[in-house]
C-alpha cells in the first residue's frame, strides 16, 4: 500500500461510527446545563430581586420623605420632578436637584441595598 492509502484508511476509520458503549451526546450536555442553572439561581435571580426592591423603593418616594443619598447628603424630598430626578432640601433655603438613583434609603434606616451589593 502506498502512504497515501494509509492516510485515507486512517481518515476513514476516524469517520466511522463510535465504538460500542459510547456516551450519548445529550448526556455530555448535562454538566453544562447544570452550570447554567447554578449560575441563574445563585447570581441572576438574587440580582433581579435586589433590582426590583430598589425600583419599588424609588417609585414609592414622596414629598416629605427624609432620605440619605449615596454621597452622604441627608435631606427632605421637596419636589418630585419626573421619573429620574427629585429636589432635596439639605438645609433651610438650600435645595439641590439629584437623580432618584442617588437615594439609597430613608434617614435612620439601613440602606435599601447594602453598599457591597449595589449595581
Q: How confident is the model at residue 7 (pLDDT cuts 50, 70, 90)?
A: low
DSSP codes, 6-54: HHHHHHHHHHSPPPTTPPPHHHHTHHHHHHHHHHIIIIIHHHHHHHHHH
86: number of Cβ within 10 Å: 25
What pTM, to 2 d.p., does this model score? Answer: 0.64
pLDDT, mean of residues 94-112: 89
Mean pLDDT lowest for which of 9-13, 25-29, 52-56? 9-13
In the predicted structure, residue 119 carries a pLDDT above the cut 50 = no
pLDDT at 92: 95
The mean pLDDT of 74-84, rounded to a whole number, is 92
- Average pLDDT over every residue of 63-82: 93
- Name the β-bridge partners of 2: none
* CA Rg value for the chain: 30
Amino acid at each position: 500500500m502506498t502512504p497515501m492509502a494509509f492516510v485515507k484508511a486512517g481518515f476513514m476509520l476516524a469517520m466511522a461510527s463510535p465504538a460500542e458503549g459510547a456516551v450519548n451526546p445529550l448526556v455530555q450536555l448535562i454538566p453544562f446545563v447544570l452550570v447554567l442553572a447554578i449560575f441563574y439561581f445563585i447570581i441572576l435571580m438574587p440580582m433581579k430581586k435586589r433590582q426590583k426592591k430598589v425600583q419599588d423603593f424609588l417609585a414609592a418616594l414622596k414629598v416629605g420623605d427624609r432620605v440619605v443619598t449615596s454621597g452622604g447628603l441627608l435631606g427632605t424630598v421637596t419636589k418630585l420632578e419626573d421619573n429620574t430626578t427629585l429636589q432635596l432640601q439639605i438645609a433651610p433655603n438650600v435645595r439641590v436637584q439629584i437623580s432618584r438613583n442617588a437615594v439609597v434609603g430613608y434617614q435612620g434606616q439601613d440602606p435599601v441595598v447594602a453598599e457591597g451589593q449595589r449595581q
